[in-house]
Amino acid sequence: MTDYDHLAGRLRDRGVDVDAAERALGALVVETPSWGYGDSGTRFAVFTQPGRPRTVFERLDDAAAVHRLTGSAPAVALHFPWDRVDDLGELRAHADSLGLRIGAVNPNLFQDPDYRLGSVTHPDAAVRDKAVAHLLQCVEVARELGSTAQSLWFADGTNYAGQDDLRARRARLIASLQRVYEGLPAEQELLLEYKPYEPAIYATDLCDWGAALTVCQRLGERAKVLVDLGHHLPGANVEQIVALLADERRLGGFHFNNRKYGDDDLIVGSTNPWELFLIFVELGSELPRLTIDQSHNIERKVEAMTLSVVNLQEAYAKALLVDRVALAAAQAAGDVLGGHEVLLDAYRTDVRPLCAKVRAERGAAEDPVAAFRSGDWQERAIAQRGDDVAVAGWWGR
Ligand code: RM4
Ligand code: MN
Ligand code: MN
């Protein structure tokens, strides 16, 4: 008897609809980030890797490799101007040829020196106009690429009490975003990402889910909150935030990564797999946009991204096994640990054989990380692309 037969048999005995779980798992879509394939670093150094992609076309090639291995990563989120090309049609065609589509478009309002005091919140109207113009340009870029979301993160904030007026900044933020929202075609959503601190140290303009949600409510129903798992103060109950936003129909999506201390951007599921599982339990079968936002500085990019997608598949698979009927019954009966045990039972299930089967059925690898490690992807990338250290990474582009 194979591991899969053993697992499927046990699950069926427990009343799990294994076929339905496999169908749901097979439909999982994860967007990987173009910026997760190029060189990156800490604030102390950028680590260049031999064979890294030199252009957005090559970054898509790497994303396609992750999709081939995992079967769940058919979309790629782009960052502009880092991914700027002369011919967007050519970029879209390249994605098509690889079996990929373009995910969320991420504008960049945090590297231009003009944004020293903020972008959409800047005290000077001319700088705000410049920021809004970039955002509207990204709306057009998305339209041409067939993307359905603008994913916005602002570095805007202040470092010292008294540096600027907090309410005036909020008013400027809302007024600027209203201009963007008005220019948004019906098929696009506006996702607002919050973050408590960094680079602003005293007051970040979109510091938490409440700040983001209330701005979204002022904009309109296609404005939704994006939850980056690394953007909470220690101890925050992220799955509860997810429940609240989903209940308000304002959960726009995720930036998946994992943290131990700050916004660490480690591989999702590497430090807190229980939290990741609980988030998928909260989501149920209604999944919003799921994007990876990580910084792989010393690990090999394609391998790290592959492991990230596998970790998401396993967390989702476990969540699909939760006995919802038993959970509701325990909750209704006031059985404090009964519901907890239902969750533990699903979480402790070794779902790897089930994930392997679903991947194999989709033409992906049974064990994606092992397949990557035993293949010659890295060697071929080095042969084709060289290891020229002069290629700029994501800081420098
Ligand atoms: C931020 C945030 C954004 C990402 C930038 C580079 O901390 O997570 O999503 O675009 O980093
Ligand atoms: Mn993020
Ligand atoms: Mn971040």
Question: Which atom of ligand 1 is found nearest the CA of 151?
Answer: 9
**Ligand 1 atom closest to Cα of residue 257:** 8
pTM exceeding 0.95:
yes
Residue 228 beta carbon below 6 angstroms from any ligand 1 atom: yes
With a 6 A CB cut-off, is 255 part of the ligand 1 pocket?
yes
Give the nearest ligand 1 atom to 228 CA: 8
Considering every ligand atom, which ligand is closest to the CA of 153? 1
Residues contacting residue 122 through CB under 8 Å, at least 6 positions apart: 114, 115, 128, 131, 156, 172
Q: Which residues pair with 226 in a beta bridge?
A: 193, 253
* Nearest CA, atom 7, ligand 1: 263
- 223 closest CA partner among 295, 304, 150: 150
Q: Any idea which ligand is nearest the CA of 152?
A: 1
Measured from the CB, is residue 193 less than 6 Å from ligand 1? Answer: yes
Residue 389 is predicted with a pLDDT of 58
Q: How far apart are CA 339 and CA 347, in angstroms?
A: 13
Distance (Å) from CA 153 to ligand 1 centroid: 6
Shortest-distance atom of ligand 1 to CA 193: 9
Query: Is-contact 368 18, C-beta < 8 A?
Result: no
| Under-70 pLDDT residues of the chain | 388-397
Percent of the chain clearing pLDDT 90 (strictly above): 92
- Distances in Å between the Cα of 315 and the Cα atoms of 202, 276, 312 are 35, 6, 5
Question: How many angstroms separate the CA atoms of 311 and 92, rounded?
Answer: 28
Q: How far is the CA of 11 from the centre of ligand 1 (A)?
A: 39
User: Is any atom of ligand 1 closer than 6 Å to the C-beta of 263?
Assistant: yes
- Those residues with Cβ within 8 angstroms of residue 70's Cβ, 6 or more apart along the chain or in another chain: 30, 306, 309, 310, 313, 359, 364, 365, 368
